[in-house]
Amino acid sequence: MIAAVMVLWLAHPLLDLGGDSVCPAPAEVRDRLAQLSGFNAGETPPGSDQHQAYLSSKDGMVHVELVSSDGRRLAQRTLDRTGSCADLAEAVAVVISTWEAEFNPNVATSVTLPPPAPPPRPSPAAAEVKAVQPPPNRPQRFDVGIGLLASIAGGEVVPGATLAASLSRRSGHLGLAAALSASSTHSQSLGSLTGAAHWTRVALAAGPQYRVSRSASMLDFHAGGVIALLRVEGVGLPSTASDSSAQFGMGAGLRGLWAWNSAAGWIGLDVLVYPGHDQLDVGGLGASGQLPRVEVQIASGLSLGRFP
């Protein structure tokens, strides 16, 4: 209570306390004064003026008066009757102790107050709510590169070129990969006619990719579908012709990269498979041949992009 804080260094119970108040009764106030000041009613510190306090009930309130030994009214106060009688007795005792310290400077400062109440515990419903910031968006990894390749089909090796690209999230291993490749001309025998046909293929492969990285080194595993444009033409025949057709297949491979800053050197191996039978026939000569269904590509190149 605020009044109790004001008298932490003040108070002494009066020697004469009376009145017609029932709640609180003068005896209750007298006992509370004794607890606060450490003196008993009837004791007067040396050199102190003996005062008298009167308690009376008035209109549902408690009226307190302090009178000097010569009959002068020193102070008065009216308190609302709220709380229990014990609470009112404590309030009146604090008021009288404050007056005594003010009007009787010889009273020793010996007030003993109860320990302060512990702070209220917060209810579970009042738990602190903290805003959770979403994690920052990490940029995606990507790279685009160009390289030279060796195309191996039907036991023949020819040069070629490739354009490769990949895209993946920075925090994961899965991504997408695509490659456009083209080889120079392969030769194909038709029966007894050696090298009677030349063929070349431009292929686009695309599909999922799985990347394993450690520091600046990365290893990609990829697979997917392949769509190719096949062109075939006759060579050294009395009457030659050419033809183009689409092929569908599948492919798989791996690629190792070594990055520095935004560039990376790489080397890769891919196997392209074209199911079905691609038959070559020479009209009028009765010669025929079969195009190889498997092509192996070994490539090396340089890529630019964002690497881990």
| Alpha carbons 240 and 280: distance in angstroms, whole number | 13
Strand partners, 206: 178, 225
| Contact indicator for 12, 97 with CB cutoff of 8 Å | yes
Q: Are the CB atoms for 180 and 162 separated by under 8 Å?
A: yes
Q: What is the pLDDT of residues 127-176, one digit of tens each?
A: 555 666 665 666 788 899 999 999 999 888 999 999 999 998 877 789 99
- Across 268-295, average pLDDT: 77
Q: CA–CA separation, 1 vs 186, rounded Å?
A: 103
DSSP-assigned letters across all residues of the chain: -HHHHHTTT-----SEEEES--SS-HHHHHHHHHHHHS--TT---TTPPP-EEEEEEETTEEEEEEE-TTS-EEEEEEEE--S-HHHHHHHHHHHHHHHHHHH-TTS------PPPPPPPPPPGGG----PPPPPPPPPPEEEEEEEEEEEEETTEEEEEEEEEEEEE-TT-SEEEEEEEEEE--EEEEETTEEEEEEEEEEEEEEEEEEEEEETTEEEEEEEEEEEEEEEEEE-SSSS--EEEEEEEEEEEEEEEEEEETTEEEEEEEEEEE--S--EEEETTTTEEEE--SEEEEEEEEEEEEE--
Q: Could you state, in order of their start, the residue ranges of all structural domains in the chain?
A: 2-103, 141-306
Give phi and psi for 90, each to the nearest 5: -65, -40
What is 2-103's CATH number, 1.10.3470, 3.30.160, 2.30.30, 3.40.30? Answer: 3.30.160
What is the band of 280 on the pLDDT scale with cuts at 50, 70, 90?
low
The structure tokens listed for 58 are 């008035």
Taking domain 141-306, whether its CATH number is 2.40.160.20 is answered by: yes
- Omega within 30 of 0 (cis) for the link into 24: yes
Tokens of 35: 């607890």
* Alpha-carbon span 213 to 227, nearest angstrom: 29
| Per-residue pLDDT tens over the stretch 221-235 | 999 999 999 888 877
Structure tokens at 163: 């354009």
Residue range 201-220, pLDDT digits in tens: 999 999 999 999 888 898 99
Q: Which amino acid is at 290?
A: Q
Q: What is the pLDDT of residue 12?
A: 44
Q: Which of residues 96 and 130 earns the better pLDDT score?
A: 96
CATH topology identical between 2-103 and 141-306: no
The pLDDT of residue 115 is above 90: no
Short-list 56, 86, 67, CA closest to 14:
67
Residue 221 to residue 298: CA distance in whole angstroms: 15
pLDDT in tens, 2-23: 344 344 334 444 457 788 788 8
